[in-house]
Amino acid sequence: MVEGYEVVIGLETHAELNTESKIYCSCKNQFGLEVNTQVCPVCMGMPGALPTLNEKVVDYAIKMGHALNCTINPVCKQDRKNYFYPDLPKAYQISQAEVPLCQNGYVDIYVDGEEKRIGITRIHIEEDAGKLLHSDKFSGSLVDLNRCGVPLIEIVSEPDMRSSSEAKAYLETLKSILQYLGICDCKMQEGSIRCDVNVSVHKPGEPFGTRSEMKNVNSFSAAVRGIDYEVNRQIEILKAGGKVEQETRRWDDQKGISVSMRSKEDAQDYRYFPEPDLLTIVVDKERIDALKAEIPELPNKKLIRYIKEYGLSLKEATAISENVDKAGFFDECVNNSNVSPKSVCNWLLGDIAKYENANNISVRDTLLTPSKLVELIKIIDSGKISNAAGKTVFDIIITKDESISDIIESKSLAQISDASALESIADEVLSQNEKSVNDYKNGKTNALGFLVGQCMKASKGKANPSIMKEIIVKKLSE
């Protein structure tokens, strides 16, 4: 609720699929290559060229359908969406109109610890368009057709979200699922995921208000900003006694405003009709089932498992489960070993996350393996090295393929746990700090910490602090 109004949000999310080749030709599906090099007569819309469907695209879309609990339509068509624009060389986009490949699903999202179910209206396959380029070096526009024919799925949600934070959680969840399925690069800066946002507001108890559709939303944070802006804009209009127009607006993230693109009256008539160059898509039950069997445990399930089985906090469980690499790493560490999941979690969200952020890479791109982290945790737990020494080891094994025992030896990191060695250190320190010894005996117990610290210093940090402490307490009470 914002200022007494209920907010209704529905999202249309486009995700580029990371198939080897494009959806209707064998051109490479890769971002960032030299302009107009990944093109052929088919994706350039040359006269007489014909599309042929890349079946991988159907597989990927069905996987997403399964992940979002959709019904998979075993028979569906592809349709032409007709409109003129220079980045669309055929002047129509091959998409799916009437019957999508997947429909009637849902996804559970978590906002502030609360679970919420968002309905999925449909998921359909379609092709991406090219890109217009502008530069000071030339007048007018140039077009790069490399992106033409990059496969997309469009995921349409029900108008089930009630705040921008729900919208963000929904988008984060979709992103995380796409990563788990390995069907999208999810590189926001490359436009792998884009969305159109539908927003309306109404007084509680009244029917939904008139919605506006906002295009050009290119990041999740922009979606939040755009929704908040749009909600306020609509409430202002209603408060002033006005009427919200049904229209398409464009979000300008730099200026932080949305501007009207076209009204309902100017809405384009796309003249959809079945694509006559392509056959009806028919997927048999075996294929649908086989794809379902390939769906891994998804982030939602993991999240709950991490909390229930491993006692992680919601925050920790979310941070690990929403990232497919972290979750995979975590699972590999925890499965088949008896290290504490909490320790693994602390490493993943602590030093490992720090390293990832500093270097802008994933733990999977480092030389650290789950078995090595498990080994390190075990060595620390056993008391062979201190936590501090553990960090020293970590700093090495994240970038170098060296054995942990070699590192401990070459850097002399092993802790002294041998009682007689520790006792002689204690004797020496106690004899040199009579004042503190007396303080302790006179009831100033915090002198103990100082004495243990002195012992650690004398051992150059190698003394096992807990054994050291025991020995000192024992000696002081003699």
Hey, is 116 helix, strand or coil?
strand
* 279 in Cβ contact with 77 (< 8 Å): no
Nearer to other proteins, 94 or 169 (CB): 94
Q: How many beta carbons lie within 10 A of that of residue 443, not counting itself?
A: 7
Long-range contacts of 117-121 (CB under 8 A, 24+ apart): 117/160, 118/157, 118/158, 118/160, 118/161, 118/166, 118/170, 119/157, 119/158, 119/160, 120/68, 120/69, 120/70, 120/155, 120/156, 120/157, 120/158, 121/156, 121/157, 121/158
- Give the integer Cα–Cα distance in Å for 6 and 315: 28
Enclosing H/E stretch for 332: helix 324-334
Hey, is 124 helix, strand or coil?
strand
* 374 in Cβ contact with 390 (< 8 Å): no
161's CB contacts (< 8 A; 6+ apart) are: 8, 9, 10, 11, 118, 167, 170
Enclosing H/E stretch for 397: helix 387-397
Q: How far is CA 409 from CA 68, 368, 398, 406, in A?
A: 51, 19, 18, 5
Tell me the number of residues near other proteins by CB under 8 A. 28
CB of 158 to other proteins, least distance (A): 23
Q: Is 282 in the site for other proteins (CB under 8 A)?
A: no
Q: Is 51 in the site for other proteins (CB under 8 A)?
A: yes
CB of 345 to other proteins, least distance (A): 50
Q: Is 390 in the site for other proteins (CB under 8 A)?
A: no
Q: How far is CA 56 from CA 15, 18, 33, 121, 151, in A?
A: 15, 10, 22, 22, 10
Nearer to other proteins, 99 or 414 (CB): 99
Q: Is 296 in the site for other proteins (CB under 8 A)?
A: no
Enclosing H/E stretch for 238: helix 220-239
Nearer to other proteins, 114 or 265 (CB): 265
- Give the integer Cα–Cα distance in Å for 195 and 9: 12
CB of 230 to other proteins, least distance (A): 27
CB of 147 to other proteins, least distance (A): 15
Nearer to other proteins, 39 or 61 (CB): 39
The values of phi and psi at residue 69, to 5°, are 60, 35
Q: Is 45 in the site for other proteins (CB under 8 A)?
A: yes
Q: Is 27 in the site for other proteins (CB under 8 A)?
A: no
Nearer to other proteins, 46 or 473 (CB): 46
Token pair in block for residue 284: 């048999």
CB of 271 to other proteins, least distance (A): 4
Q: Is 41 in the site for other proteins (CB under 8 A)?
A: yes
Nearer to other proteins, 275 or 356 (CB): 275
**Site mask for other proteins (CB under 8 A), range 141-180, x = bound:** --x-------------------------------------
Q: Is 80 in the site for other proteins (CB under 8 A)?
A: yes
Nearer to other proteins, 24 or 110 (CB): 24
Q: Is 84 in the site for other proteins (CB under 8 A)?
A: yes
Among 4, 28, 37, 50, which residue interacts with other proteins (rule: CB under 8 A)?
A: 50
Name the one range near other proteins by CB under 8 A: 45-53, 312-320, 346-354, 392-400. Answer: 45-53
CB of 131 to other proteins, least distance (A): 14
Name the one range near other proteins by CB under 8 A: 62-70, 185-193, 248-256, 267-275. Answer: 267-275
CB of 37 to other proteins, least distance (A): 15
Name the one range near other proteins by CB under 8 A: 64-72, 275-283, 306-314, 333-341. Answer: 275-283
DSSP code for 364:
G
Token pair in block for residue 187: 């590189």
Q: Is 46 in the site for other proteins (CB under 8 A)?
A: yes
CB of 83 to other proteins, least distance (A): 9
Q: Is 138 in the site for other proteins (CB under 8 A)?
A: no
**Type of residue at 375:** E
Among 86, 119, 191, 296, which residue interacts with other proteins (rule: CB under 8 A)?
A: 86
The values of phi and psi at residue 248, to 5°, are -105, 130
CB of 90 to other proteins, least distance (A): 5
Q: What letters, b where the CB count within 10 A reaches 16 and e where it falls short, cover 69-106? A: ebebbeebbbbbbbeeeebbbbebbbbbbebbbbbbbe
* 342 in Cβ contact with 310 (< 8 Å): yes
Nearer to other proteins, 43 or 429 (CB): 43
Where does this chain bind other proteins (CB under 8 A)?
A: 41, 44-53, 80, 82, 84, 86, 89-92, 143, 269, 271-273, 276-279
